């Protein structure tokens, strides 16, 4: 995992140096895990969006394009089950102030350190925090073991 981290750090550094991306709200101290697109980043993002749209919408007989509102009547969210069942178990690294989905953090850990019988989908929020602490799961950003 450290090699992946180093590679990602190099990619991010290159993208920042070339004007593709900048840390979100950087001039005000930044905001972890957010990015603003520079001139080249906007062009790249738009090219990817156009290529995706062409391939999966325009060239497909089975797909159509929809641009729906993000803000909706609360009854939509209730009817879909999002209000009663949706839960993203988040976990924060005290050392670098980064936030992660606990289930994703554990899945990544298990992909490199398989543990027989460990099933993330069966874990409750408390079980996930206990797993991270018990197995000293490292923070993907700083490598420390200090989560809340």
Gyration radius (Cα) of the chain, Å: 19
Tokens of 56: 């999966």
Query: For 125-148, what is each residue's pLDDT tens digit?
Result: 889 999 999 999 999 989 998 888
User: Where in the chain are the domains?
Assistant: 1-62, 88-148
Give 93's strand partners. Answer: 147
CB burial string 99-123: b at 16+ within 10 A, e below: ebebbebbebbbeeeeeeeeebeeb
Whether 148 contacts 139, CB under 8 Å = no
Region 88-148: CATH code: 3.30.40.230
Q: For residue 65, what is the DSSP state? A: -
Sign of the alpha-carbon torsion through 130, 133, 134, 137: positive
- In this prediction the pTM is 0.47
Q: State the CB neighbour count (10 A cutoff) for residue 19.
A: 13
Which of 72, 91, 90 lies closest to 82 in space, CA to CA?
72
Query: For 33-82, what is each residue's pLDDT tens digit?
Result: 788 999 999 999 999 999 999 999 999 999 999 998 888 898 988 898 88
What distance in Å separates the CA atoms of residue 12 and residue 33, rounded to the nearest whole number?
A: 12
Torsional class of 118: left (φ above 0), alpha (ψ -120 to 50), beta (otherwise): beta
């Amino acid at each position: 995992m450290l090699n992946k981290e180093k590679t990602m750090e190099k990619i991010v550094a290159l993208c920042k140096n070339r004007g593709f991306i900048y840390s979100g709200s950087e001039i005000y101290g930044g905001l972890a895990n957010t990015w603003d697109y520079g001139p080249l980043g906007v062009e790249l993002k738009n090219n990817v969006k156009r290529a995706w749209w062409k391939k999966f919408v325009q060239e497909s007989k089975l797909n159509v394009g929809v641009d729906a509102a993000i803000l909706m009547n609360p009854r939509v969210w209730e009817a879909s089950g999002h209000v009663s069942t949706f839960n993203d178990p988040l976990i924060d690294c005290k050392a670098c102030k980064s936030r992660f989905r606990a289930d994703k953090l554990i899945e990544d850990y298990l992909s490199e350190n398989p543990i027989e019988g460990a099933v993330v989908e069966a874990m409750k929020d408390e079980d996930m925090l206990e797993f991270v602490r018990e197995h000293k799961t490292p923070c993907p950003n700083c490598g420390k073991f200090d989560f809340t």
